[in-house]
Amino acid sequence: MSYQGPESFRKAVVALAKLPGVGEKTAQRLIFHLMKGKKENISFLTQALEQLKAQVTICAQCFGYSDTQICPVCTDVKRDQHTICVVEEPSDVFAIERSGHYRGVYHVLHGVLAPLDGVGPSALKIKELFLRAQSQEIKEVLIATNPNVEGDATALYLAQGLRNQDIPVSRIAMGLPMGGHLEYADRVTLARAIAERRDFSIR
Amino acid sequence: MSYQGPESFRKAVVALAKLPGVGEKTAQRLIFHLMKGKKENISFLTQALEQLKAQVTICAQCFGYSDTQICPVCTDVKRDQHTICVVEEPSDVFAIERSGHYRGVYHVLHGVLAPLDGVGPSALKIKELFLRAQSQEIKEVLIATNPNVEGDATALYLAQGLRNQDIPVSRIAMGLPMGGHLEYADRVTLARAIAERRDFSIR
């Protein structure tokens, strides 16, 4: 594309196109939309983003996103504060909350062990998890790292560390996704679903 | 979705989700991306948008987007200042420039005639086009409104107005899109392509 409009327009396109899944064409389309609307709409967006930048921080206990030093989940007395779900990223907290089936608290690692990329235990919030398990009365740690090589290795590392503290550790189940078909399931998922089969006998 | 994270996070999601084609899920994903990166990336984006808001204006001659009172296209001596391409929206200028086959200047109507929606000639930059055609030495007005009912009606209205000023008027060709197939062409396009067929005899 040779013609890209006025300087300020081009700069806004460049900035928007840095977002994932937003190409130059999409960025242009978004800006045409913003330009057609009231100019206050632009401020509404930029102010929300600036506020996000200024206010969102990491919870000092679970390391998830929070506007306060300790996040609302960590201070919610209605939640089970003795069960910790360990996830890789803050976004995983949103995914699990969406399921509506978890009432405990979280611990966000901010990554996974990836020795080949130079990511060791000290780069993650692992020490903090061990300390937390030690100092608080924890009755279960549910490891919900992703079901792949790094996620599994990280889960194993955590389970070994927590064994020394005598804390029951569990791992989210892996198997066929709901609504899936055996026919279309990949080899690895199917192998895992078989290996981790559950007792189904009616007694 | 019940859990939506901290307040500032939720507000940013709401603001981003107002953009066309961006739903709540996509907005969350974009924000996770922004949060994972350096905080300066957020400022880079908000500053570019604020600058856009502050600087981009409408060219006083062609009514396209511009950072200056008169846009670079209107002041470009290398362009044919005597041919005006009339388009509906500022975004159409980008589309035509992208084709790389037009060397004249533009006139943006900022809409089309739509009597049913109460959009009459006075709501568009039509009077300005007639004045411009009168005061400048124009040798052709190429009408590039969209090929639909409103676009055609607007083109007709402009052609009638310009006839009085004795200025040659043309309309972009309508027909099968390049790479298209007769088999998949819609009825209306095909009818138009036949009605507007061009002489192809070899002499």
Mark A58-69 as b/e (b = at least 16 C-beta within 10 Å).
Answer: bbebbbbbbbee
Among the listed residues A112, A115, A121, A119, the one whose alpha carbon sits nearest the alpha carbon of residue A146: A112
CB atoms A3 and B48 under 8 Å? no
Q: Would you state the pLDDT for residue B183?
A: 85
Span B9-62, pLDDT tens digits: 999 999 999 999 999 999 999 999 999 888 888 999 999 999 999 999 999 999
What are the 10-residue block averages of pLDDT along chain A, 203 residues in total? 80 93 92 89 93 92 95 94 95 90 94 93 96 92 93 94 90 88 86 84 78
Q: CATH number of B7-55: 3.40.50.970, 3.20.20.80, 3.40.1160.10, 1.10.8.420?
A: 1.10.8.420
By DSSP bridging, strand B140-143 and strand B83-87 are: parallel
Residue ranges of the domains in chain A? 7-55, 58-199
Q: How many CB atoms lie within 10 A of CB B78?
A: 6
User: What tokens appear for B18 in the block?
Assistant: 């107002």
The answer to whether the CB of A158 falls within 8 A of the CB of A122 is no
Residue of B nearest to A11 (CA): B48
What is the pLDDT at residue A58? Answer: 94
Q: What is the CATH number of domain B58-199?
A: 3.40.1360.10
Closest Cβ–Cβ partner in B7, B35, B52 for A8:
B52
Q: What is the pTM of this model?
A: 0.76
Identity of the residue numbered A72: P
What is the tens place of the pLDDT at every residue in B168-183?
A: 999 999 888 888 888 8
Nearest chain A residue to B35 by CA distance is: A53
A57 to chain B nearest CA, in Å?
9
- ipTM field: 0.78
- Tokens 């679903």 locate to A193
- Listed by number, the residues of chain B in 134-193 with a beta carbon closer than 8 Å to a beta carbon of chain A are none
Q: Quickly tell me which residue has 């979705």 as its tokens.
A: B1
Intrachain domains A7-55 and A58-199 with the same fold: no
Q: Across the interface, do A53 and B43 touch by the CB < 8 Å criterion?
A: yes
Check CB contact under 8 Å for B7 and A67: yes
